[in-house]
Amino acid sequence: MRKAYRVKTEQDFQKVFQKGKSFANRKFVVYVLQKDQPHFRVGLSVGKKVGNAVKRNEIKRKIRASLTDMQPRIKPTLDFIVIARPSVSNCSSQEVYSNLEHVLKLAKIIN
């Protein structure tokens, strides 16, 4: 995913947390904020409870790969943050994809 598609700064994260709405399932929490922009932006957060640095980076790679597959279906005018819960640490790529798709449908980010 290109840098233009990422929520990077602490201020942007805080805006989405404070003004956005949250949706969750057993594996992920998603915060969504409506914005006026030509494409969506996404931020990822995987805490230390999930595992060591290697495991956290592996999960982030799986999330990014899933989002890349879903990219044409994602609404362009949104900023959203995906937070991985500790139970995601034992999931395969397919399980990450299906759980992420489920929570994004709940948040109405994808159809």
Distance CA 87, CA 41 (A): 25
What pLDDT, on the 0 to 100 scale, is given for residue 80?
93
Sheet holding 21-24, edge to edge: 21-24, 28-34, 78-84, 41-46
Whether this model's pTM surpasses 0.85:
yes
Please give the average per-residue pLDDT across 11-28, as a whole number.
Answer: 93
The pLDDT tens digits for 37-93 are 888 899 999 999 999 999 999 999 999 999 999 999 998 889 999 999 999 999 999
Domains for the chain: give ranges and CATH numbers: 8-105 (3.30.230.10)
Distance CA 107, CA 26 (A): 14
Q: Residues, the chain, total?
A: 111
What pLDDT, on the 0 to 100 scale, is given for residue 4?
79
Beta bridge partners of 83: 29, 45
